[in-house]
Amino acid sequence: MRWSARLLIVIAGSVVTGAGVLVLLAGLEDADKISSVVGAVAGVLGLAVSIAGALRARGSQENSASAALASSDGVEAKPAVRDVSMLAEAAGDARIYQAGGDMTVNDR
């Protein structure tokens, strides 16, 4: 486990322990108010983490797609063309269509 993950676990554990002690020392009314604020803060932090993760994932997808198309001299290359064959059988008047790439259906 990386040191940053361990540090995050220690910080989270400290915050939860501190909040628990604070709630135990406060009265019932104050504990209710404190828990409301803690819940709201946790919700906002969860939203921020999920947005950051989505943006990070989106950026890595764009980077990997552009890196896959870039050649060593910096000029973008076209994706490689693959020869794909498909074996299928149809009975009666049934037709089989292959999806993907260029496709001609009924000579159109």
> How is residue 2 written in tokens?
């990386």
Give the N- to C-terminal CA distance of the chain in Å, as an integer.
58
Confidence of residue 101 (pLDDT cuts 50, 70, 90): low
Going from N- to C-terminal start, the domains of the chain cover: 3-69
- Is pLDDT of 80 > 90? no
Please choose, from the candidates 45, 21, 46, the residue with its C-alpha nearest in 3D space to the C-alpha of residue 31. 21
Q: Report pTM.
A: 0.42
**Main-chain dihedrals φ then ψ at residue 106, nearest 5 degrees:** 55, 45
Structure confidence by residue, pLDDT tens digits, 53-77: 888 887 766 555 555 555 455 555 5
Those residues with Cβ within 8 angstroms of residue 29's Cβ, 6 or more apart along the chain or in another chain: none
Percent of the chain with pLDDT over 90: 16
